[in-house]
Structure 1
Amino acid sequence: MASQETSRTLDVAGIGFGPSNLALAIALRERGREAPNAAFFERSTSFGWHRGMLIDDATMQISFLKDLVTLRDPRSSFSFLCYLQEHGRLVDFINHQILVPSRAEFHDYLAWAAARVPEAVSYGSEVIAVRPVPGDRAVDCVELVIRDVAEPGRTRTRLARNLVLATGLQPALPDGVEPSDRVWHSSDFLHRLAELPPAPERTFTVVGAGQSAAEITNHLLGTFPDARVHAVFSRYGYSVADDSPFANRIFDPAAVDDYYLASPAVRESLMRYHGNANYSVVDLDLIKEIYRRQYQEKVAGIHRLRIANVSRVRAVAPAAAGVDGVEVQIEFLPNGDVETVNSDIVIFATGYRPADPLPLLGELADFIELDDEGMLRVDRNYRVVTSEKLTCGIYLQGATEHTHGISSSLLSMTAVRSGEIAESLCADLRHSPARAVTGALRTP
């Protein structure tokens, strides 16, 4: 059953309500009387951010100052420091003498911020289609088809003059690997771990060489005293994340301008030079902790952690009849030797890929311009470049690494990026004859 909502056309419709669009909702709200009529639609029934990886003692990899607002406006009441003050922990945090909070605390901060803008978001609302609404000369408005998650047969529609897509990242698994009760992606780690029945001993295989893989390996060794863990990765060892001051400039706002203006060859070199600031790398303290744990167990004659380095998983399959678990074929890359090990659980910490916005945009894709590599053309303010026949704005939060660099979907740029998108939206709306300034965010 579908229904057309009678409320006025939205100036801005946001799809997804993770940290990026939460930051945008705050940025729009803080524009005061200039704030457009905006609403955000989120498939989940409540706010959440990487809940499956909120491992005890896991910390953020960025400074608390790279929160939702501070780099855009240090005076904002939505800052991490204001969150600490409201919760009576500001002095305690200062005495802690750290720049990086725990991941659990930062998640609590994000949820606190989301709870302060309840009027901006409609939870349990999945946008399943976007349709062009032709105007006199061009498509200046779109229709969103929104499914009620609690009642999948019920849909409604809303009209909007601008879209902001922040649909996040999708878990990536190697070709031929399908998730199951015994084969997990790291994004579901804690959820699936909580469902495991008690057992005296277990064997886990963790695939991947990045931060998530190392955190999972360390957590399993610490949580299950009798467990054995196979760590499989193609590197010789865990590589250290380069978070040195000069290398970290790749995450500066100015670096986005440099990357955007650079030639394809320079962009490629920047990604190659600085990939070790973000991809398949691990914090040095965690590397040392895993090594310390393995060494101390060797001293005690215990061999719970086995590292299969310079290796890859060739295949996973259910174990032979009558045997529980999963058979994992591990190839040693230097000579091609293959060993088969049996694991109760295999966890692929193999990263994520940006969600492709084109399938959701449907017929709007016909108006979108692509570059020579078949990638979306995106302007500096994160607006998708379209033909003159489409004047409705489409903005991307994520899926712009090819145009805006390594920080395009990272928290490091969230505050600044949301401010730039908010400014672009408001500038366009000021010059739109079809829009009158409403002065406040409206209830979705």
Structure 2
Amino acid sequence: MNNNEIYDVIGIGLGPFNLGLAALLDEVPDMKALFLEKKSEFNWHKGMLIDGTTLQVPFFADLVSMADVRSKYSFLNYLQAHNRLYHFYFLEKFHIPRKEYNHYCRWVSEQLPQCKYGMEAERVVPVKLEGGGNGYEVSVWNDGTHTEERFVTRHLVMGIGSVSSVPEHFKEHLGSSVFHSSEYLEKKEICKEARSVTVIGSGQSAAEVFLDVAKEQEESGFTLNWFTRSKGFFPMEYSKLGLEYFSPDYTDFFYSLPQEKKDALLKNQDLLYKGISADTSAEIYDYLYERSIGSDYPPISLQAMTEITGLESTGSGFSLSGYHQVKEEGFTQDTDVVIFGTGYKSAIPSFLSAMKDDLAYDQAGRFKITKDYRLETYLGDAGSIFIQNGEMHTHGVGAPDLGLGAHRNAVIINQLAGREVYPVQTKNVFQTFGVENRGAASVPSM
């Protein structure tokens, strides 16, 4: 099926960022948009919707509020629509349950007919537009009708997000008993039947999985090990001045730096986005303390400074090879289940393969990206290709942060519309990241 309509913008992928873009564009009547998602429905990290887990950002980091608090798609309006305003008022918490955030996003997506699910983008190519100008043709597999459809657009926005990251030499073992934390709830039952379970990683996801598995261990009795090559199970930086790094001001500062300085900075900012929340860390400690009353220590081990270097199948389970980086000693550990809480990484989508030579890359093979989130291309006057959550190397640690999603969408929408649809605020923080021109210091007279 070929669609003759020309859209102003097509979004590929419907995670929170492109869903927020769809919601904000829904209130811009002169912009015709379409959003495509290969999954059958919206679900945000479905495998990690563990009971008791919360967002790591305040509820203001919903899909729209940081760009337009008056939007009907705000989290507060969602609460009102579900008769939960007083419940939330009495809750007195900024960090909402992850399950509720997912339900809120689903509520928004159900109100946006321009969001199409079961539609997998397979190929994007530049085309001449009827009436003049250049745009893109998007070939899509419709999973519902089992047919290919084609759509034409002036501009694209990629919101495909990141993919789970597992060290390359472990990938051959991935399956029902060796898996990434993103699949945890789908495969949780296997842990209950195991003799030994191992969690690898030290970020928030690894911590949440470890705590949930530990609670299962209390009933099932298996051995539980938690390894990380990090120097410790450290908390994520969450001081108020530290949070200012997740601001448009810091993004502007970071973007202005040479790429080598950006890469060096990112290497030293892990705890801004990779550590464990203080609440989760405290909950783990409190749980282990209670389990150890009367010196009745459970078969649970936490070991930092340790890299898991190998994984072999033994027929009845797996044998892990580990190396303690400080002691410089190796060891082996038998286990039945391995859960990798090893984070996520950006990936170049396959639907751009036909255009790979039209796109600009840096020396590390990453997209070159303009300050206003467009891919640099060699396509001349072709329409823009914007990117969501694929620009950490150019824009800094705030790229995957939900709190900056609405701001980035405001920037993108203003570019698409050619006018200021949503105001973009400046001077959002108290500190200065660069050097301000303060003028010459006056010398007191004698």
Counterpart CA distance in 1 for 2:333 and 2:266 is 36
Which amino acid in 2 is paired with 1:288? A
1:264, CA displacement in angstroms?
Answer: 3.2
Residue deviations 1:52-100, cap 9 Å, x none?
0001101110000111111101111111111111111111212111110
**Which residue number corresponds to residue 340 of structure 1?**
332
1:250, CA displacement in angstroms?
Answer: 0.6
Residue deviations 1:13-48, cap 9 Å, x none?
11111111111111111123x2x2211110000111
Query: Aligned ranges for residues 144-293 of structure 1 at < 5 Å?
Result: 144-150=138-144, 154-178=147-171, 179-194=174-189, 196=190, 199=193, 202-225=195-218, 226-264=221-259, 266-268=261-263, 270-279=265-274, 281-293=275-287
For residues 139 and 184 of structure 1, do their structure 2 counterparts lie closer, same or farther at Cα, with a shift above 3 Å needed? farther
**1:367 correspondence with 2:361:** no
Contact 2:217-2:224 at 8 Å conserved across structures? no
Contact 1:250-1:274 at 8 Å conserved across structures? no
1:115, CA displacement in angstroms?
Answer: 1.1
**Which residue number corresponds to residue 2 of structure 2?**
4
Per the alignment, in what secondary structure is the counterpart of residue 322 of structure 2? strand
**1:385 correspondence with 2:376:** yes
Residue deviations 1:237-259, cap 9 Å, x none?
21111111101001112222121
Contact 2:66-2:403 at 8 Å conserved across structures? no
Query: Greater shift after overlay, 85-94 or 56-65?
Result: 85-94
Counterpart CA distance in 1 for 2:96 and 2:353 is 40
For residues 373 and 236 of structure 1, do their structure 2 counterparts lie closer, same or farther at Cα, with a shift above 3 Å needed? closer
Counterpart CA distance in 1 for 2:351 and 2:132 is 20
Unaligned runs of 5+ in 1: 431-444
Query: Greater shift after overlay, 211-220 or 368-377?
Result: 368-377
Counterpart CA distance in 2 for 1:132 and 1:391 is 7
**Which residue number corresponds to residue 82 of structure 1?**
77
Per the alignment, in what secondary structure is the counterpart of residue 76 of structure 1? coil
Matching residue within 116, 126, 130 for 1:122: 116
Per the alignment, in what secondary structure is the counterpart of residue 68 of structure 1? coil
Name the TM-score, length of structure 2 as normaliser. 0.87
Counterpart CA distance in 2 for 1:121 and 1:129 is 19
Counterpart CA distance in 2 for 1:387 and 1:22 is 29
Query: Greater shift after overlay, 131-140 or 217-226?
Result: 131-140
Contact 2:272-2:397 at 8 Å conserved across structures? no
1:302, CA displacement in angstroms?
Answer: 2.5
1:377, CA displacement in angstroms?
Answer: 2.1
Contact 2:192-2:217 at 8 Å conserved across structures? no
Counterpart CA distance in 2 for 1:254 and 1:4 is 43
Contact 1:14-1:163 at 8 Å conserved across structures? yes
Per the alignment, in what secondary structure is the counterpart of residue 13 of structure 1? strand
- What percentage of aligned pairs have identical amino acids? 28
Counterpart CA distance in 2 for 1:128 and 1:116 is 26
**Which residue number corresponds to residue 60 of structure 1?**
55
Counterpart CA distance in 2 for 1:15 and 1:164 is 6
Which amino acid in 2 is paired with 1:167? I
Contact 2:263-2:393 at 8 Å conserved across structures? no
For residues 237 and 369 of structure 1, do their structure 2 counterparts lie closer, same or farther at Cα, with a shift above 3 Å needed? closer
1:204, CA displacement in angstroms?
Answer: 0.7
Unaligned runs of 5+ in 2: 422-446
Counterpart CA distance in 2 for 1:9 and 1:39 is 10
Contact 1:137-1:389 at 8 Å conserved across structures? no
Contact 2:208-2:280 at 8 Å conserved across structures? yes
Which amino acid in 1 is paired with 2:170? V
**Which residue number corresponds to residue 435 of structure 2?**
none
Name the TM-score, length of structure 1 as normaliser. 0.88
**Which residue number corresponds to residue 19 of structure 1?**
16
For residues 137 and 30 of structure 1, do their structure 2 counterparts lie closer, same or farther at Cα, with a shift above 3 Å needed? closer
1:389, CA displacement in angstroms?
Answer: 3.0
Matching residue within 413, 422, 425 for 1:422: 413
Contact 2:10-2:153 at 8 Å conserved across structures? yes
Matching residue within 26, 29, 33 for 1:29: 26
Contact 1:367-1:390 at 8 Å conserved across structures? no
1:390, CA displacement in angstroms?
Answer: 4.5
Residue deviations 1:239-286, cap 9 Å, x none?
11111110100111222212112233543454345331102x001222
RMSD in angstroms over aligned alpha carbons?
2.3
**Which residue number corresponds to residue 49 of structure 1?**
44
Counterpart CA distance in 1 for 2:365 and 2:165 is 21
**Which residue number corresponds to residue 95 of structure 1?**
90
1:159, CA displacement in angstroms?
Answer: 1.3
Residue deviations 1:93-116, cap 9 Å, x none?
121111100111111111111111
**Which residue number corresponds to residue 442 of structure 1?**
none
Matching residue within 96, 110, 113 for 2:105: 110
Per the alignment, in what secondary structure is the counterpart of residue 296 of structure 2? coil
Counterpart CA distance in 2 for 1:365 and 1:26 is 30
Detail structure 1 runs of 4+ shifted over 6 Å in the superposition.
Answer: 135-139
Query: Greater shift after overlay, 244-253 or 233-242?
Result: 233-242
1:364, CA displacement in angstroms?
Answer: 2.6
Which amino acid in 1 is paired with 2:8? D
Counterpart CA distance in 2 for 1:429 and 1:80 is 24
1:300, CA displacement in angstroms?
Answer: 3.5
Counterpart CA distance in 1 for 2:104 and 2:372 is 27
